[in-house]
Amino acid sequence: MADHAPLELERFLPYRLSILSNRVSQAIAREYQDRFDLSMTEWRVMAVLARYDGEGLSASEVAARTEMDKVAVSRALTRLVEARRVSRRAHDGDKRRSVLRLSAAGWKVHDTVAPLARAHERSMLAQLSADEQRALLAILDKLAPV
């Protein structure tokens, strides 16, 4: 019989980070999914478009900034454009490139959801002391620089 060394997933850092990310994201997502029929991917796309509003991003740029799969971003953008939450127009210098921006309806959703997301973040961080919060942010900056 071969020797096996199974991973202890409950102690494996990537697994634990994934679980934490899912828990946090799903807690926030429940609110905007029910209220706005908005998926997690759609919200992340909207958040990136809002953050970089002055730049007018392409779908590829959205995928790169979110580090999400291009197909998932494309599907989310299709739904957001159909729901008129995102506008798509051809780039002035390159008709093959689309420029994406939040529409007025998209901004309305964003301006409702963003405070909910910030409140969830504050609630989660309130479980940590000020020193723990600083340490967590320093660790995140080190492991996943922005």
Interval 43-83: pLDDT, tens: 999 999 999 998 889 999 999 999 999 999 999 999 999 99
Mean pLDDT for the stretch of residues 8-17? 92
* pLDDT tens-digit readout, 24-44: 888 889 888 999 999 999 999
Mean pLDDT for the stretch of residues 95-109? 90
Cα(92)–Cα(119) distance, integer angstroms: 39
- pLDDT for res 49: 97
Q: Look up the pTM and report it.
A: 0.85
**At residue 1, does pLDDT exceed 70?**
no
**At residue 142, does pLDDT exceed 90?**
yes
Cα(106)–Cα(111) distance, integer angstroms: 9
- pLDDT for res 31: 85
Mean pLDDT for the stretch of residues 105-121? 95
| Higher per-residue confidence, 42 vs 5 | 42
CA angle 126, 128, 133 (to 5 degrees): 100
CB neighbour burial string for 62-82, b if at least 16 within 10 angstroms, e if fewer:
bbebbebeeebbeebbebbbe
Name the DSSP letter for residue 84: T
CATH topology (fold) of 32-143: Arc Repressor Mutant, subunit A (1.10.10)
- pLDDT for res 95: 65
Cα atoms found within 13 Å of the Cα of residue 47, Cβ hemisphere only: 18
